[in-house]
Amino acid sequence: MFRSLRKPETQSVSININGQTVQVAEGSSLWAAMALHGETQTRLASVSGQQRSAYCAMGVCFECLVEINGVPNQQACMTTVEEGMHVSSQHLTEQSIAALHQKESADHE
Amino acid sequence: MSDIFDIAIIGAGPGGMSAALEAAQQGASVAVLDRKATPGGQIYRDVTQSPLLDPSVLGREYTEGAELVRAFLEADIDRHQNADVWHIGENGEVLYSQDNQTRRLVARELIISPGAMERPFPIEGWHLPGVMTAGSAQVMLKSDGMVKDGAIFAGTGPLLYLIVAQYLRLGVTVNAVVDTTPAGGVGRAMQHLGGALRKPAYLIKGLKLLNEIRRAGVPVFRHASNLSILGESKAVGLQFQQDGRTHSINAGHIFLHQGVIPNLNMTRALGMEHHWAEQQLCWTPVLDDWGQSSIPHIAVVGDAAGIQGAEAARHAGRLAALKAMNKLGKLNDADLQQESSANLKAIKSFKAFRSFLDAYYPPTPEHRIPVATNTLVCRCEEQTMGQLRAGFEQGAKDPNALKALTRCGMGPCQGRQCGHTVSELLADWQNKPVSDIGYYRLRSPQRLLSVEELSQFQNIKPVQKPAEVSA
């Protein structure tokens, strides 16, 4: 587990990560907030569907893409937590997107 | 809705902040756009608002940055944080995304300072959860006070030893240091010893870090080679060779590092001229002594201009600002020369010192140019060395052809994690110098953008190159 050495007087905000409401330090990066709650899976690899996690934590690897308030492809490491934020690991893959398109065109017929 | 500034600066690290301060002091109207929530760049990340009780454990090179950040925050500068630039176009137009909206500004002169990133470390399993960079350990510590016990630190270079020492000072346990610096460092670096002796304080600091690690009793495996990550769906350990023997150490977390390289995407998307810097083994924009690039009115400073470190970046930032003032007609040629001389001299001595470091801590070929066919080169599109090799054999001899054929470099990171590897692989396979191979052709937008945001712009023109202007 990651652990925090943050000074104790920090204020906290409440966010929801993968369905669970947790208290996290105000001003935290979303990646840190996730990692401190054991939620280290960010996105799935787009071709193989394998689990991925943050690699660089500074915005250049794009491994930490997550869904924030329903919007996918957001970099957790570049996002500051905000009260009431809803976050989930991203499950978009080439396969899931293709399935979505198939369903859409079937619905139109 | 658009503002016109004398000078716009992109990136608020030491280079960008120094440029902004100098320009503001000289009376220019200055805007600074920075991608992070707070100024400081990676090096001075959150230095004025550290989450740690005692930030001095991070060392003086970090805490000394507070003064620059405070001066920057107090100066008459139009500062924009969380401003992610995705396009720089003709006539000094800059488009940036902020709060899910694109905003625009225009400047007569541009100084860009997009900084450095860690060199990719393409070994087997480097994509697995549990593998991160040593730089990430430092980022997490500086901004969130977050640490990981029991990790292995592997690779080479001063940053690796610095973060291990910082962890130990904070009581964070370190499983092992696996050092890939090849034997014979002194011999390799001997011709640059003069450069090292110009910065004795840095040299002593480096030796102290190594002593600190040894005294703490952390196992250090020197001259390690052929690293690979163990694990199927996540990292479970590190395997390597030392003195002809294969070792493996179990650990759920491994931090890798083998130096830093310029973060190229902005300078490349601008179509700036670059060259392959043999000493630093990376692409670097072609610049004059004041940071002026091949594109009129655009200068590059800081580590994006070639890795020289934070102090050199401050000198480079000031130089670019002086030159911009000169071009704006606000500083005459004689004053420019006089004002510049101390900074030009200082940069020379930092370059000499860097030559020593580059020679002493080289990223070894086996960790830059993968030999195992199943090593992922492009993490986003999951292209292995073997798949790229097959593409090459089908006729894709340059990075753009290989990209078109295999999709390498087409994912969300826009080639940041595979570009250098692909250039070096193609050079290696054809037995050509990397400079003949080139790099991916990049374009705006330089960030992930929603279609909604992009659709606000129907007429996005690239920057004009001198040849096109005169034609």
Q: Do domains B3-117+261-331 and B120-258 have the same CATH topology?
A: yes
Cβ separation of A4 and B131 shorter than 8 Å?
no
Q: Residue B195: its pLDDT value, please? A: 78
Q: How many angstroms separate the CA of residue A58 from the nearest CA in chain B?
A: 7
Cβ separation of A54 and B131 shorter than 8 Å?
no
Task: Look up the pTM and report it.
Answer: 0.95
CA geometry: angle at B400 spanning B122 and B394, to 5°? 85
Beta bridge partners of A65: A75
Q: Residue B145: its pLDDT value, please? A: 97
Q: Residue B469: its pLDDT value, please? A: 41
DSSP type of residue A50? -
Cβ separation of B129 and A7 shorter than 8 Å?
no
Taking contacts as CB-CB distances below 8 angstroms, the residues of chain B near A73 are 412, 448
Cβ neighbours, 10 Å, residue A1: 10
CA separation for the pair B364, B60 (Å, rounded): 30
Which candidate from A35, A47, A60 shows the least CB-CB separation from B382? A47
3-state secondary structure chain B: CCEEEEEEEECCCHHHHHHHHHHHHCCCCEEEECCCCCCCCCCCCCCCCCCCCCHHHHCHHHHCHHHHHHHHHHCCCEEECCCEEEEEEHHHEEEEEECCEEEEEEEEEEEECCCEEECCCCCCCCCCCCEEEHHHHHHHHHHHCEEECCEEEEEECHHHHHHHHHHHHCCCCEEEEEECCCCCHHHHHHHHHHHHHCCHHHHHHHHHHHHHHHHCCCCEECCCEEEEEECCCCCCEEEEEECCEEEEEECCCEEEEECEEECCHHHHHCCCCEEEECCCCEEEECCCCCCECCCCCEEECHHHHCCCCHHHHHHHHHHHHHHHHHHCCCCCHHHHHHHHHHHHHHHHHHHHHHHHHHHHCCCCHHHCCCCCCCCEEECCCCEEHHHHHHHHHCCCCCHHHHHHHHCCCCCCCCCCCCHHHHHHHHHHHHCCCHHHHCCCCCCCCCCCCCHHHHCCCCCCCECCCHHHHHC
Enumerate residues 6+ apart whose C-beta is below 8 A from A1: A36, A38
Cβ separation of A56 and B450 shorter than 8 Å?
no
Cβ separation of B139 and A58 shorter than 8 Å?
yes
Task: Name the CATH topology of B3-117+261-331.
Answer: FAD/NAD(P)-binding domain (3.50.50)
Q: Residue B461: its pLDDT value, please? A: 65
Strands B274-277 and B282-285: antiparallel
Is 1.10.10.10 the CATH number for B369-437? no
Check: CB of residue B449 under 8 Å from CB of residue B456: no
CA separation for the pair B137, B139 (Å, rounded): 6
Check: CB of residue A66 under 8 Å from CB of residue A87: yes
Cβ neighbours, 10 Å, residue B153: 26
Taking contacts as CB-CB distances below 8 angstroms, the residues of chain A near B145 are 4-7
Q: DSSP for B351-382, please give it.
A: HHHHHHHHHHSPPPGGGTS--STT-EEETTTT
Provide the ipTM.
0.95
Radius of gyration of chain B (CA): 22
Mutation for testing the B interface, residue in A5, A34, A65, A85 having most B CBs under 10 Å:
A5
Mutation for testing the B interface, residue in A1, A30, A56 having most B CBs under 10 Å:
A56
3-state class of A37 per DSSP? coil
Structure tokens at B23: 């320009």
Beta bridge partners of B149: none
Q: Tell whether A58 lies on the interface with B, counting CB pairs under 8 A.
A: yes
CA separation for the pair B449, B33 (Å, rounded): 17
A49: left (phi over 0), alpha (psi -120 to 50) or beta: left
One digit per residue, pLDDT tens: chain B, 471 residues? 457 999 999 999 999 999 999 999 999 999 999 999 999 999 999 999 999 999 999 999 999 999 999 999 999 999 999 999 999 987 889 999 998 889 999 999 999 999 999 999 999 999 999 999 999 999 999 999 999 999 999 999 999 999 999 999 999 999 999 999 999 888 888 888 887 787 888 778 888 898 999 999 999 999 999 999 999 999 999 999 999 999 999 999 999 999 999 999 999 999 999 999 999 999 999 999 999 999 999 999 999 999 999 999 999 999 999 999 999 999 999 999 999 999 999 999 999 999 999 999 999 999 999 999 999 999 999 999 999 999 999 999 999 999 999 999 999 999 999 999 999 999 999 999 999 999 999 988 887 777 777 777 766 666 655 444 433
Q: Residue B459: its pLDDT value, please? A: 64
Beta bridge partners of B84: B97
Query: Domain residue spans in chain A?
Result: 12-108
CA separation for the pair B461, B89 (Å, rounded): 6
Enumerate residues 6+ apart whose C-beta is below 8 A from B433: B276, B427
User: B120-258 in CATH: which number?
Assistant: 3.50.50.60
Query: Domain residue spans in chain B?
Result: 3-117+261-331, 120-258, 369-437
Q: Tell whether A36 lies on the interface with B, counting CB pairs under 8 A.
A: yes
CA separation for the pair B262, B290 (Å, rounded): 17
Check: CB of residue B121 under 8 Å from CB of residue B128: no
Which candidate from A36, A41, A63 shows the least CB-CB separation from B146? A36
3-state class of B313 per DSSP? helix
Is 3.10.20.440 the CATH number for A12-108? yes
Q: Tell whether A46 lies on the interface with B, counting CB pairs under 8 A.
A: yes
Residue found under tokens 């610049």:
B287
Angle (deg, nearest 10), helices B333-360 and B310-327: 150
Q: Which amino acid is at A96?
A: S
From residue B3, alpha-carbon distances to A74, B30, B35, B104, B461 in Å are 29, 11, 19, 8, 18
From residue B352, alpha-carbon distances to B194, B259, B282 in Å are 8, 17, 18
